[in-house]
Amino acid sequence: MRIEDNKGESASIKHLVFAYYVTGHGFGHATRVVEVVRNLISAGHDVHVVTGAPDFVFTSEIQSPRLFLRKLVLDCGAVQADALTVDRLASLQKYSETAVQPRDSILATEIAWLNSIKADLVVSDVVPVACRAAAEAGIRSVCVTNFSWDFIYAEYVMAAGLNHRSIVWQIAEDYSHCEFLIRLPGYCPMPAFRDVIDVPLVVRRLHKSRNEVRKELGIGEDVKLVILNFGGQPAGWTLREEYLPSGWLCLVCGASDTQELPRNFIKLAKDAYTPDLIAASDCMLGKIGYGTVSEALAYKLPFVFVRRDYFNEEPFLRNMLEYYQSGVEMIRRDLLTGHWKPYLERAISLKPCYEGGINGGEVAAHILQETAIGKNYASDKLSGARRLRDAIVLGYQLQRVSGRDVSIPEWYTNAENELSLSTGSPTHKMTETIPVLDSFTGDFEIVHGDHQGLPDTMSFLNCLVELDNVYVAEKNSEKRQMRERKAAAGLFNWEEDIFVTRAPGRLDVMGGIADYSGSLVLQMPIREACHVAVQRNHPSKQRLWKHALARQNAKGQGPMPVLQIVSYGSELSNRSPTFDMDLSDFMEGEKPISYERAKQYFAQDPSQKWAAYVAGTILVLMKELGVRFEDSISLLVSSAVPEGKGVSSSASVEVASMSAIAAAHGLSISPRDLALLCQKVENHIVGAPCGVMDQMTSACGEANKLLAMVCQPAEIVGLVSIPNHIRFWGIDSGIRHSVGGADYGSVRIGTFMGRAMIKAIASTTLSQSVSTANGVSPDELDNDGLELLEAEASLDYLCNLAPHRYEALYGKLLPESMVGEKFLEKYTDHGDTVTVIDKKRTYAVTAAAKHPVYENFRVKAFKALLTSANSDEQLTALGELLYQCHYSYSACGLGSDGTDRLVQLVQEVQHCKSSKGCEDGTLYGAKITGGGSGGTVCVIGRNSLRSSQSILEIQQRYKKATGYLPFIFEGSSPGAGKFGYLRIRRRNSPKSN
């Protein structure tokens, strides 16, 4: 090979000359370019690579005088704040500095250089300006990639507002000059390209066998080997020996020269040839990128991955990993704290099944060679303006599907409306632009119920109408629909009625984790909701998916009732979009299976564990109400309630699912009873030890009111109207919350331990009092005190203990913490049916027990204050109660850096306004919500434009500090009970006649 400077010329004019531009984003692009270039050079051609990657990436694989390396970066890709976090605004700013401001000089330089080397073809991975420069130089260009920067940056621009919108339009316009796209597997939507050729995986070849690599490393076949491949490690990260299971070794890529590693970690050289090392390993731990995913699939290596924030390529690669049974997701907290063992052990139990081609480099090189000598792979050319319109507008319309999590920005077709809205919620933006229709559209009609003018419901109904068209197109061999939509289109028998229900998420205003201790809680149903469509069919009329049909045929029993579910939004949630089972799987003889067995059933496949929230409702109806399901059931689930943000996404799915199934089967269940049944799904089948307030709010709540409920177990005491001068917001911290997580469960256990101890103290005190009083006349005894002790000795709910009694008699006697084994020795049981004490674990007791006692008092005070006169003092007092609740959460161990930061920002805004002598304040208080440990913060403020501006100010300040733009929850909507159900049918179906 030969290194040349920017003015170098080709060494040969007897062969084809390729100019290959490589984006500056990471090594993954350079490594796949290597394989295409190697094949081009093997065919006798010259290749000039324009790259910022180190020379060894190319020279370790290619030693040829026909390779020319030109050191230059023409786009920066995505700027990362650390190994796992993309800084969206910094990415746009850097791209502007790299490719926008010097654009004229870049074009002039590149046109001159392309002419100087007499390039026959320009290839781009995936540098936009290279396509434009080629067109200006009169040279054809081709892109080779699995994503394009207009798609990646689109969401960044939504966060940035108007400042950088022109960047994405310019990128798309540059790409429109490309001849066609050679598309790699795991691709994102790339609407800027009109013509596409799909090729197999581009994967670097192996130089050494697994045995050779292990022999060189001195590692036997009996040793489990994981390769740590992050392309740079999280800042300040210290690897520890105990991170790995016993007997394992870890190969570390990208370790610094000064980094000290434990004895079971092996530092690799910076120029180590990673494909050989990957193939010699038993699994890989890293972040998702094309290079890591393609090599993991090619060499059938299980991949334990950690998500990157805001790199929009990731969901599509993750989906491919999941499809080929090669991926296990690790949460970031477990990565950084070294809780690796369960993930690694899960990974080596996988059986990766990718059998597709891995010769994409050879195939792509052949196409490029044919193009360079004049073959035309593209369709007839249209005008530049027409091609750009087709590429951007029509491309995004065709690939946009209502209800899916991977949102393709609508501002491509409606830019002004989208970017003029000030809210921080993309879902809010989309729903506000949906027209509310007076009647159902198309060939369908609503024969029962009312959509109540809810924009998201109308959107969901229109989505169902479109599915019928998709099904017709599918029968006519139209294959362009996405997996979720195709699966949903084949789900329903369009001649039968479909039942639709809706259940919102909730904002925990007050009460939170005190619900399982019997507290009063105040909860607000939010705007975002889950919709479920359900249909029942006789088994002989049910359209089965192929594998379900094969399963039934193998049993030889004829048509049997089945459950088939499609869930929209699987790409961003690392889950399969479909789930199916024979309903007989829920039966053991003549009786339904146990909840424990059902829990194990759904836990056996992590990619489908989500189905427990939906299918679990059927088993609960079977066990608790004796319902027998003899028909097949089809469900479509579409939720706009974000997961992991502490706003009860799971409860909304459970309530909407059970409501729909009940409606389809003619079951009359009160909203309260339905909520209690849904709690059993979460507690006993999903295995999350939540209280009942989430399900109660989703089922029984009303728009713009706080549901007041005493959780003993679930007594609704009223609906509290939110005064016109008060408003609540939710601000997402970006830290994923899980009610099934160990923190929440351990605090709950500590609370029940505290209750058991208080009961024991009360019982002992009562016995001592009675014993001391022997021989004293009953009239002289303090009967009121004895009655209190009797009640406290048999305390059902910790919240029934008054704060002054807690302080006077019990608080100082409770231990700060206790090991599970010692507690069980002394007290036998903690009295909670949904949690199990770990004998080896130490549980905090004092803080966990104190929180619900005081929280119940705070909620009662909050409720009373809401009805007091409108004053600054009223709002200040309400806000103070929220602050007290927040810090009590932290004392229990359920805080997080992100939620603490948001609460601090609210305080800064509040006190800044106060110090400036503003007549009316804006924000008055904030608290972490739900199960804690991340999720969403609830904020209370005055209902005014200035308050909304303050919320947006906090949103931007949080983003500046963390790189994460919070999702803002604002507005309210009716619960499932108020919504009821819709029954829809085709106008020309037999039932309509």
Nearest CA-CA partner of 625 in 655, 659, 669, 594 = 669
Query: Contact at 8 Å (CB) between 184 and 144?
Result: yes
| Look-up of token digits 């899960």 | 346
In single-letter form, the type of residue at position 947 comes to S
Give yes or no for a contact between 303 and 327, defined as CB atoms under 8 angstroms apart.
yes
For 514, 729, 753, 826, the CA distances from 791, given in Å and listed in that order, are: 20, 39, 18, 22
Nearest to 888 by CA among 863, 913, 859, 915: 859
C-alpha distances out from residue 483 to 72, 145, 399, 488, 569, Å: 39, 21, 11, 8, 11
Which of 694, 732, 743, 832 is flagged as catalytic?
A: 694
DSSP string covering 810-861: IGGGS-SEEEHHHHHHHHS----TT----TT-EEE-HHHHHHHHHHHHHHHH
What does the buried/exposed string (b/e) look like for 687-723 if buried means 16 or more CB atoms within 10 Å of the residue's CB?
Answer: bbbbbbbbbbbbbbbbbbbbbbbbbebbeeeeebebe
DSSP secondary structure string for all residues of 430-493: HHHTSPPPSS--TTEEEEE---TT-HHHHHHHHHHHHHHHHHHHHHTT---S-HHHHHHHTT--
- Terminal CA-CA length for the chain: 77
Block residue for tokens 């009655």: 787
DSSP strand pairing (141-145 vs 180-183): parallel
Name the pairing type of β-strands 46-51 and 283-287.
Answer: unpaired
Task: List strand residue ranges (DSSP E) for 673-777, in order.
Answer: 705-710, 715-721, 726-732
Cis before residue 713, ω within 30 degrees of 0?
yes
Q: Which amino acid is at 825?
A: E
CB-count burial class (<10 Å; 0-12, 13-18, 19+) for 269: exposed
**What does the alpha-carbon distance between residue 347 and residue 916 come to, in Å, rounded to a whole number?**
57
- Phi, psi (rounded to 5 degrees) for 287: -105, 155
Is residue 515 among the annotated active site residues? no
Alpha-carbon distance of 726 to 878, in angstroms, equals 10
Residue 516 in contact with residue 691, Cβ under 8 Å? Answer: yes
Residue given tokens 């505290």 in the structure block: 754
How far apart (Å, rounded) are the C-alpha atoms in residues 955 and 647? 18
Contact 548, 564 (CB under 8 A): yes
The whole-angstrom separation of Cα 556 and Cα 953 is 64
Q: Distance (Å, rounded) from C-alpha 664 to C-alpha 172?
A: 47
> How far is C-alpha 765 from the geometric centre of its chain's CA atoms?
51
Among the listed residues 193, 98, 201, the one whose alpha carbon sits nearest the alpha carbon of residue 148 = 193
- Cβ partners under 8 Å of residue 623, min gap 6: 592, 595
Tokens 């040279």 correspond to 139
Give the three-state DSSP class for 362. Answer: helix
| Cα(171)–Cα(76) distance, integer angstroms | 13
Interatomic CA distance for residues 986 and 992, integer angstroms: 7
Using only C-alpha atoms, the chain has a radius of gyration, in whole angstroms, of: 31
Residues known to be catalytic: 694
